[in-house]
Amino acid sequence: MHRGIRGLPTLGVNIDHIATIRQARRTVEPDPVAAAVLAELAGADGITVHLREDRRHIQERDVRLLRQTVRTHLNLEMAATDEMLATALDIKPDYVTLVPEKREEVTTEGGLDIVSQTARIGGIVDKLQSAGIPVSLFIDAETAQIESSVKIQAKFIELHTGKYAEAGDETSRDRELASLIAGCEQAMKVGLRINAGHGLTYWNVYPVACLPGMEELNIGHTIVSRAALVGMERAVREMKQAICRQLSA
């Protein structure tokens, strides 16, 4: 991963919700692998999938096929469990992002709490990175979480942008953006590489793209929603444009 044109971050396209549509009927379409091909053709810099414990969307077979077909890089989001560790060590994605996971949640609700699980998560990070799989930790932009991420020697953090995305007014949005800026500055000082994601859309992505040190944005739901209307290639191209400049209302 590296910063893209004009020093702005690259785009990782999360294709989970292509599989959500497929699993609604438990059929064979739409195919996440085909979606990944179209996303890459349109300029996606990486493909992200979350293999959840309950297998609500992406299936293990999808990840294995994507490992064989993705030409950019494959980011596997997963819970910090022994089952998922074994799966990742077998499939060997280009990197792993450890995320919190609860069966009852609709989508990931917040960042991973590294502080309270340093030993356990640190052990998983060590096993993955010893196998040549860099690890990113999906965390809130909090000082203690960043310090703990350094302690367990993760290569990346992915800052949770949900609070920024859900802010209901400009004052709240500015406050959350300031928190993300502070998190980026702290991470850069201690040598962590920085990604971000969650809740980002065509209309709110640009300020996050401009955060100091930001390398890649992982974005899914808004792209898949747009793709349902205009096609995957156009949806990805428009997100690349939104990252580089603010779109007109």
The pLDDT value given to residue 1: 58
Enumerate the active-site residues: 50, 77, 198
Q: Is residue 136 part of a domain?
A: yes
In a domain, 1, yes or no: no
Please tell me the distance from the alpha carbon of residue 197 to that of residue 67, in angstroms, as a whole number: 22
Rounded-to-integer distance, Cα 127 and Cα 48, Å: 21
> Domains in the chain: how many in total?
1
pLDDT confidence of residue 117: 93
Q: Is residue 247 part of a domain?
A: no
Within a domain: 68: yes
Domain membership of residue 240 (yes or no) is no
Give domain status of residue 156, yes or no.
yes
Res 247: pLDDT = 46
pTM check: above 0.75: yes
Q: Which residues constitute the domain of residue 150?
A: 22-234
pLDDT by residue for the chain (249 residues), tens only, comes to: 555 545 789 999 999 999 999 999 999 999 999 999 999 999 999 999 999 999 999 999 999 999 999 999 999 999 999 999 999 999 999 999 999 976 555 455 679 999 999 999 999 999 999 999 999 999 999 999 999 999 999 999 999 999 999 999 999 999 999 999 999 999 999 999 999 999 999 999 999 999 999 999 999 999 999 999 999 999 999 999 999 885 444
The reply to whether 80 falls in a domain is: yes
Q: What is the CATH number of the domain that holds 220?
A: 3.20.20.70
8 part of a folded domain: no
